[in-house]
A and B are shown apart, each in its own frame.
Chain A
Amino acid sequence: GDSVTQMEGPVTLSEEAFLTINCTYTATGYPSLFWYVQYPGEGLQLLLKATKADDKGSNKGFEATYRKETTSFHLEKGSVQVSDSAVYFCALVTGGGNKLTFGTGTQLKVEL
């Protein structure tokens, strides 16, 4: 079956540091890939997505590139802020539906 593997957290960074959160996947079909973010006290929300190989999704300074050859979709940001502190979930969907398969989430803490 489909699965998503994320790096374990928490990841603690200083403000303005470079962020990478690794995500790899296995899928029976050709998936679309997503990053969701959950800020403290809020519901999950879509951060960015990519639907085909070599696509780059980007939003709020975050970006991730769909790498089919390495089955990866790593999340990056050049300069994190305290307000980026949240839990980040990598996810995929295959086939004709919208049933997302999620990773376990990676907590990011950004300190001054």
Chain B
Amino acid sequence: GAGVSQSPSNKVTEKGKDVELRCDPISGHTALYWYRQSLGQGLEFLIYFQGNSAPDKSGLPSDRFSAERTGGSVSTLTIQRTQQEDSAVYLCASSPWSGPGTGELFFGEGSRLTVL
């Protein structure tokens, strides 16, 4: 597709279950980012990939959160033993550059996670 694709668009799960969120970046984009958008909060940075490596994972809130990227393309964000405070919209973005300060990220529409 032409843009960043995320799935599922909506996920409702029970507390304690594991969830996987998928991101398909724009073809050829080497940089990939995950952000979280909670109600009333700004976008919170989670992790950044350059290729398959994650040089910055400083925003992952706990060890229940992990992410990987394979083939320099698709990325999966996994949340284990979900808690109600994990409810949020998880946004993925990609960028064609790894260079500094360009700031132009291309965002997907997000995956809305609700933990009951």
Q: Show the binding face of A for B, using Cβ within 8 Å.
A: 4, 32, 34, 41-46, 49, 51, 89, 91, 93-105
Contact = CB atoms under 8 A, between A and B. Distances in A.
Given A43-B3, A43-B91, A98 B105 contact: yes
Nearest to A29: B101
Contacts of A97: 48, 56, 100-101
Interface stretch (B35-43, B62-70, B75-83): B35-43
B108 interface: yes
B101 A43 contact: no
A51 B104 CA distance: 12
Nearest to B3: A43
Interface residues of B, number: 29
Given A43-B3, A99-B45, A104-B40, A51 B109 contact: no
Q: Which of A51, A95, A102 has the most CB of B within 10 A?
A: A102
29 contacts: A32-B101, A32-B103, A41-B109, A43-B3, A43-B4, A43-B107, A43-B109, A43-B110, A44-B91, A44-B105, A45-B106, A45-B107, A46-B105, A49-B103, A49-B104, A93-B101, A95-B100, A98-B31, A98-B33, A98-B97, A98-B98, A98-B102, A98-B105, A99-B33, A99-B48, A100-B43, A100-B105, A102-B43, A105-B42
